[in-house]
Chains A and B, each alone.
Chain A
Amino acid sequence: MATEHTQEHGHADHAGMTKKRIWQVFFYLLGITALEFFIALVLMPMGMNHGLGNFIYVVLTLLKAYYIIAYFMHLKFEKTAFVTSLTVGLIFIVYFIVLLLTEGSYLHVHMN
């Protein structure tokens, strides 16, 4: 797997992020943001489905988050055990989203 490959090399080149790589990630982030603006300012007014639009926004946001955490925050180059100990807890966030959306849809029907 690609991740494990990086783990092995991770510490050899601890600097991991060369200047070239940093700017590369910057342009990825900029490109994704530009794409979000394109959807919001061009595709949405043209009558794009809002549900689909929002879904794409969330996917693009998670992609941006991945680039920031993996490369800028260097997490991709840390030990697997450390990465796991940090990310496992995020399950609770997912669970909280499920809980509050269930609650929200209940209130939507019963309070309004």
Chain B
Amino acid sequence: MSTTVSQLDKIKTGPWSGGRSPFEAEYGKIMMWFFLLSDAFTFSALLIYYGAQRFTQLTWPDPDVVFQSVPGFADHGYPLVFVGIMTFILIVSSVTMVLAVEAGHRGAKNEVVKWMIWTIIGGLTFLGCQALEWTHLFHEGYGWGHFPESYKGTDAVGALQFSNLFFTITGFHGFHVFSGVILNIIILAMTMSNVFEKRGTYIMVEKVGLYWHFVDLVWVFVFTFFYLV
């Protein structure tokens, strides 16, 4: 009996015994992760529906034919080149973001500012490229509910689905990039006005960084399923 009492008296120090975060992560960061998980479900739903449609239709527009222009350089004949540039821009901006997070861990304010500026430039360049690509496709006759008249008969069904899903999904992704750029600008302004310096932690850079990497992650999937497959 006495042994049992002494065991009860002993203070538990396990990760789940209370008094500290079992995940050893800051609250806001955990919430950002769960938000991203929910966002992952949204994007998967869109992409899986796209996959199912492509699987169902008898024909589907050939990506090498649809995406073969480099706006401002050539109207056709260069499949995948422009989207390759866009992918490269987004990967680079992901790297500059992670460099900003790394600088934040060291509390190096000036480096955080430098890498955040590069990340914002990367994001804006990506959005610019997407605007060019959309404009080009609109001119070719694609759009919500529209597709070029060259698609006829059963081809038209697939082309309509492709058109709608392409603009919806890349549009939704572009919207994420846009809000990511806004968040990055806010964080840049806060860094420059010494908010994090005073707080003593640059964890906000890390949280926004998570969001930015997620945007890159979604693009990896969009790129594969729209442009490659």
Question: Which A residues lie at the B interface, using CB under 8 A?
Answer: 11, 14-15, 17-19, 22-23, 26, 29-30, 33, 36-37, 40-41, 54, 57-58, 60-61, 64-65, 68-69, 71-74, 78-79, 81-82, 86, 89-90, 92-93, 96-97, 100-101, 103-105, 107-108, 111-112
Complex CA–CA separation, A11 to B55 (angstroms): 45
Greatest chain A CB density within 10 A among B55, B56, B91 is at B56
Complex CA–CA separation, A101 to B50 (angstroms): 11
Q: Are B105 and A33 in contact, with the CB atoms below 8 A? A: no
Q: Are B22 and A81 in contact, with the CB atoms below 8 A? A: yes
Q: A95 → chain B, closest Cβ, in Å?
A: 10
Q: Are A26 and B91 in contact, with the CB atoms below 8 A? A: yes
Q: Are B52 and A101 in contact, with the CB atoms below 8 A? A: yes
Complex CA–CA separation, A41 to B83 (angstroms): 13
Q: Are A72 and B94 in contact, with the CB atoms below 8 A? A: yes
Complex CA–CA separation, A81 to B95 (angstroms): 27
Q: Are A112 and B216 in contact, with the CB atoms below 8 A? A: no
**Binary interface encoding of chain B residues 91-120 relative to chain A, with 1 for a CB under 8 A from any of its CBs, else 0:** 110110111011001100000000000000
Q: A43 → chain B, closest Cβ, in Å?
A: 12
Q: Are A30 and B48 in contact, with the CB atoms below 8 A? A: no
Contact of B105 among A14, A81, A107, A108 (CB under 8 A): A14
**Binary interface encoding of chain B residues 151-193 relative to chain A, with 1 for a CB under 8 A from any of its CBs, else 0:** 0001000000000000000000000000000000000000000
Q: Are B217 and A68 in contact, with the CB atoms below 8 A? A: yes
Complex CA–CA separation, A64 to B91 (angstroms): 11
Residues of B contacting A14 with CB < 8 Å?
A: 105
Contact of B49 with A by CB under 8 A: yes
Question: Which B residues lie at the A interface, using CB under 8 A?
Answer: 15, 22-25, 30, 33-34, 37, 40-41, 44-45, 48-49, 51-53, 55-58, 64, 79-80, 84, 87-88, 91-92, 94-95, 97-99, 101-102, 105-106, 154, 206, 209-210, 213-214, 216-217, 220-221, 224, 228-229
Interface of chain A, main secondary structure: helix
Between-chain CB contacts (< 8 Å), 19 pairs: A14-B105, A26-B91, A26-B92, A30-B91, A33-B88, A40-B80, A58-B229, A73-B210, A74-B206, A82-B25, A89-B37, A90-B40, A93-B41, A96-B45, A97-B51, A104-B52, A104-B55, A105-B55, A112-B56
Known: A40-B79, A78-B25. 9 other contacts (CB 8 A): A69-B213, A72-B98, A78-B23, A82-B25, A82-B33, A90-B40, A103-B52, A108-B57, A112-B58
